[in-house]
Amino acid sequence: MFSQEFIYKATGVLVEFASTLLIPAMIIFFMLGFASRMLIYFTFKREDWFSREFAKRVDLFIEGAHHLNTPFSFYLSCKKILERTFYELFKKRTILKRRNPDVVMVLIDRVFLVQHGCARLVKDTLKHIKYLKFGPTKPPMLSVSKNVFESNPCFNKLFGLFPASLLNDLLAILPGLFIIGGIFGTFLGIMQALPELGGMDLTDIEGTKTTMDKFLMKVSFSMITSIIGIVLSVTMSIINTAFSPEKLFMQTVERYENNLHDLWNRCSNNDLVLQDSKFDENKDALEALAENSVNEELNILPSQNSYTNNVEMTDPEPDKASTPQPNTATSATATVTPQGENKETGPFDWFKKAS
């Protein structure tokens, strides 16, 4: 199939590559692998950061509402907490910039698509929990949490372009490739040095000594590739273990699942509010800002944000008097006193004070 001359030429090219370019190539691949590992870990770390902040606000909600007898809607509570978490972490930070790192982190979150990914996380979560039914069995919050994180293109792709799972698999086999590359370079170096022994004249002691010295120098130099390969392999293995995105992802999903379960156990129903998405005079201003911030990030128009489109809303006829309908929102309850004064109390009053 291949002539002996071709094999010799190919072997010569490999030997030349091993003696001049193999060590720099391994070092370059190590640096690229290290940078990729840090970028992937940072992306998952920001995902985990949003989950931690959501957990803090869920705990505040449960602590502040445990003494209230008001029935809570799971969907509406999740919606308000998630949207407010997004608003306070991104929009409010962008406006105020109270800390010096905020200026840098605003830009970094944009480059890594963290802000857009968190907005998608909010909407995907609400889409999955919208039609959950209260019953004797608990809803599959684990599958909901895994689905919303795994299907998020901003988190499962680096910069939205490179698949994080594929890069992670390549980085996992990189330590083994360094070992193979070191052994490969050692054998090629020995192969390059062996032909010099063929011209050795045993009767010439000085010439023989010089030839053997050159042979040993080349063999010892070829051993360096194995040493460097082992060092790079061990270092990369430690980096992969210390900055493992799999462990961080599982911690994030489990925390998110536990928060949804805690909120589900605290709520008494999963009712939706039937309201006109264009205008609601009873809606809190901060809640409106939080909802609008998520919609702006995802380029959702107000007409596309009616999360109660399952009920058809029709306009009254112009020649008929319309009867005013009472507010059916479950997020706030109105109590009429004997003097005729309206006193509004809501489950998020404690949250407004904390904000």
- Under a CB-based contact definition with an 8 Å cutoff, are residues 124 and 151 in contact? yes
Q: What is the pLDDT of residue 348?
A: 52
Instruction: Clarify whether residues 44 and 113 are in a common domain.
Output: yes
Better-scored residue on pLDDT, 319 or 149: 149
Q: Is residue 62 assigned to a domain?
A: yes
Residue 276 in any domain: the answer is no
Tell me: do 129 and 178 sit in the same domain.
no
> Over the stretch 58-105, which tens digit does the pLDDT of each residue have?
999 888 876 777 788 899 999 999 999 999 988 888 877 776 676 777
Residues 131 and 47 both lie in one domain: yes
Assess if residue 293 is contained within a domain. Answer: yes
C-alpha torsion 106→109→110→112, nearest 10: 160
Q: Taking phi first (over 0 means left), then psi (-120 to 50 degrees means alpha), and beta for anything else, what does residue 160 get?
A: left
The candidate with the shortest Cα–Cα distance to 171, out of 241, 248, 84, is 241
CA 36 to the chain's CA centroid: 14
Residue 321, CA distances (Å) to 72, 311, 315, 324 in order = 34, 22, 12, 9
Note whether 176 and 109 are same-domain residues. no
Match 């006109």 to its residue by tokens. 276
DSSP H helical segments within 87-204, as ranges?
Answer: 92-96, 100-111, 114-129, 141-150, 164-193
- Whole domain around residue 120: which residue ranges? 38-164+245-271+284-301
- CA dist 205 to 37, 200, 208, 251, 258, Å? 55, 10, 5, 69, 80
Residue 149 sits in the same domain as residue 255: yes
| 308 belongs to a structural domain | no
Query: Is 352 within the bounds of a domain?
Result: no
340 with 355: CB under 8 angstroms? no
Q: CB of 15 within 8 A of CB of 192?
A: yes
| 353 lies in some domain | no
Asked if 46 and 121 sit in the same domain, the reply is: yes
Q: Do 195 and 266 share a domain, yes or no?
A: no
Q: Considering the domain boundaries, does residue 259 fall inside one?
A: yes
- How far apart are alpha carbons 98 and 46 in whole angstroms? 19
Are 14 and 44 found together in one domain? Answer: no
The number of residues in the chain equals 355
Judgement on whether residues 114 and 184 belong to the same structural domain of the protein: no
Confidence at residue 234, expressed as pLDDT on a 0 to 100 scale: 96
- Give yes or no: residues 142 and 177 share one domain: no
Count of domains in the chain? 2
Q: Is 48 found in the same domain as 15?
A: no
Only one residue has tokens 């058809």, namely: 312
Residue 324 is assigned to a structural domain of this protein: no
State the sign of the Cα–Cα–Cα–Cα dihedral 226, 230, 235, 236.
positive
96-154 pLDDT, tens digit per residue, is 777 667 677 778 888 888 889 999 999 999 999 988 888 778 888 999 999 999 988 88
Residues 131 and 182 in one domain: no
Q: How confident is the model at residue 260 (pLDDT cuts 50, 70, 90)?
A: very high
